[in-house]
Amino acid sequence: MTLPRTWRRSLAGPAAGLLAVLVGAALSTGASAATLFTDDFEDGNATGWTGSAGTWSVVADGSNALRQSASTLDARSRAGSASWTNYTVTARVKPLAFNGSNRFVALLARTQSDTSYYYVTLRSTNVFELKKLVNGSSTTLATAAATVTAGTWYTLSLTVSGSTLRGSVAGGPTLTATDSQFTAGGIGVATYYATASFDDISVADTGSPSPSPSPTGTTIVVAKDGTGNYTTVQAAVNGVPAGNTKRVTISIKPGTYRELVTVPATKPYISFVGTTGNATDVVITYDNAAGTPKPDGSGTYGTTGSSSVVIDANDFTAKNLTFANAFDEAAHSYDAEQAVAVTTRGDRLIFDNVRFLGNQDTLQPSSPSTTTIGRAYYRNCYVEGDVDFIFGRGTAVFDHCEIRSLNRGSTTNNGYVTAASTSNTTAYGFLFTQCSLTAASGVAAQSVHLGRPWHPGGDVNAIAQVLYRESAMGAHILPSPWDDMSGFSWRDARFSEYANTGPGSTVTADRPQLTAAQAANYTAQKYLAGSDGWNPIP
């Protein structure tokens, strides 16, 4: 959805690096747990890590990461304390290249030395293993099939609790075993005839990735200053056990968290909540664009790949915080400058008092596939951007939200609010009900479109559905507010309005209006009900 620009803008700059070491704090549920160690390498060094063989350094790989760049036999880097006993170590791991067949990257626990420890491996042969190494001799304790692709980030965890061992890949298999070879020891990362990056490494002294949710749920605290259970949002998400059935609230203290965050489909019932109640106090942001080159040279991120936050889980909620993409358009000349703050592919999602900041393609309500519906409810939210800044195939209701168009410097075309790609088998796409459509300073009158129909890859079955009803429209909205896109006519889409007000709402021949009878079938409840009768509307 590219449009040439005559104006460029950047968001506030990223925050300084996160603290490297966090010493524990109690969970609000009263569970006894502490974070023993975290390192996201944003300080640019590997202080506290001891490398053995290989070539270890901190490099940029999306964010700063620890990299082993020599394709040698058995390269390791270790950290932590020999006195640690029961804990979970979690890390993001990206194999970059395998030098031959049956090679691996690994995460270590209860390390005794460079030749004795427990570990989990991702092998180039698409195998995930739970193993132990004793004086250089390895034993496989459990194994499972897993897709292993060079250039892809994986989140691995390894739990050691008494004689119980558990290893997992986020979104993939979990392995368990019983072994009493080692009772205490530190952590580590390793490669075997492979190169790899390692990031966001954390150690929690609970015997599981995070306190298991009790019947009343669990609260995990994130704080940049080390006063919580984690210093990064992704580490807190990593700490939630896969398959959780109770709500886990990740309570986030004030700060700007410059990180990429993914909530995987295997972790439903997660809530992000800013602690102050003021959405501006907690900002989760990153700055990739569609045209940003990947550090490993494998191409660019693409539109969805640019997302600062991706929510694949069902029943996610967010409240009192900000999601942003801070890509600096003025500093780059990419052909593709789409820069997404949030992509959602889960179902039954709620956003309450949340801000979404960006320029082109700010917010993408989507779904797992064109045949699956993903519903999201945005209440009292703020969304800003310029070109197609609310786009995708999802079903989304914006209720009492401010939708703000930014200034692109054009007197005739300051962009498009929406670019829906609703499947023709999906009845409901985007609804804006009792919203305010506003414009930034300098935006020319009658210069912003309400939307245009996006047909991804020329998909003729993507028949956009968008309704603005009972909303106040500023003077920036064009009197003929719908536009064609990529050779597809807006008149073939399902675009309509109902009972809008304000200087930008004047009805013309190019503004399809619903009747009162038709509007009764296009309420927020109708959009969100689905087959399960979901109704998050207060």
**Which CATH number is 55's domain given?**
2.60.120.560
- Of 155, 179, 204, the position where a domain reaches its end is 204
515 located within any domain: yes
Select the more confidently predicted residue: 466 or 10.
Answer: 466
Is 332 within the bounds of a domain?
Answer: no
Catalytic pick from 61, 361, 386, 399? Answer: 361
Q: What is the pLDDT of residue 258?
A: 95
Instruction: Tell me whether residue 414 is in a domain.
Output: yes
Q: What gap in Å lies between CA 32 and CA 84, rounded to an integer?
A: 15
d(CA 116, CA 114): 6
DSSP character string of 344-358: E--SSEEEEEEEEE-
Burial of 520 (0-12, 13-18, 19+ CB in 10 A): exposed
Could you give the CA distance from residue 229 to residue 223 in angstroms, rounded to a whole number? Answer: 7
Pairing between β-strand 218-222 and β-strand 104-113 as defined by DSSP bridges? unpaired
Model confidence at 324, pLDDT cuts 50, 70, 90, reads very high
Q: In the numeric block, which tokens belong to residue 182?
A: 């080692």
- As given in the structure block, the two tokens for residue 46 are 């590997």
CA dist 237 to 149, 229, 269, 310, Å?
Answer: 23, 12, 11, 12
Domain end marker among 204, 236, 271: 204
φ/ψ of residue 144, rounded to 5: -155, 160
Q: Which of 159, 181, 204 is the last residue of a domain?
A: 204
Q: Can you tell me the mean pLDDT for 211-217?
A: 41
pLDDT band for position 156 (cuts 50, 70, 90): very high
Lookup: tokens for 439: 């414009």
Does any domain span residue 504?
Answer: yes
Return the higher-pLDDT residue of 460 and 245: 460
- How many CB atoms within 10 Å of residue 515? 8
pLDDT tens digit sequence for 166-206: 999 886 788 999 999 999 999 999 999 999 999 999 888 75
- Identify the CATH number of the domain in which residue 413 sits: 2.160.20.10
Active site residue 39: no
Does 13 have pLDDT greater than 50? no
pLDDT in tens, 122-155: 999 999 999 999 999 999 999 999 999 999 999 9
Q: What is the pLDDT of residue 206?
A: 56
* C-alpha gyration radius of the chain: 24
Tokens encoding 424: 């023709």
Question: Whole-angstrom Cα distance, residue 80 to residue 183?
Answer: 15
Higher pLDDT residue, 159 or 209?
A: 159
Domain count, the chain: 2
Could you list the residue range(s) of the whole structural domain that residue 40 is in?
A: 35-204
Residue 298 lies in a domain: no
For residue 19, tell me if it sits in a domain.
Answer: no
**Across 467-487, average pLDDT:** 98
Question: Using a CB cutoff of 8 Å and minimum separation of 24, what contacts does 46-55 make?
Answer: 46/77, 47/20, 48/20, 48/21, 48/79, 49/77, 49/78, 49/79, 50/77, 50/78, 50/79, 51/75, 51/76, 51/77, 52/76, 52/77, 52/78, 52/114, 54/191
Residue 520's Cβ-side half-sphere holds a number of Cα atoms within 13 Å equal to 2
Percent over 70 (pLDDT), the chain:
91
Q: Is the pLDDT of residue 75 over 80?
A: yes
The pTM score is 0.64
Closest C-alpha among 466, 452, 521 to residue 497: 466
Q: Is residue 338 part of a domain?
A: no
User: Catalytic annotation on 388?
Assistant: yes
Secondary structure in 3-state letters for 440-502? CCCCCCCCEEEECCCCHHHCCCECCEEEEECCEECCCECCCCECCECCECHHHCEEEEECCEC
Please give the Cα distance from 267 to 247 (Å, whole number): 10
What are the pLDDT digits (tens) for 515-530?
999 999 999 999 999 9
Dihedral sign of CA atoms 477, 483, 486, 488 in order: positive
- Report if residue 220 sits inside a domain: no
Length of the chain: 538
Active-site position among 312, 388, 399, 483: 388
For residue 317, what pLDDT is reported? 97
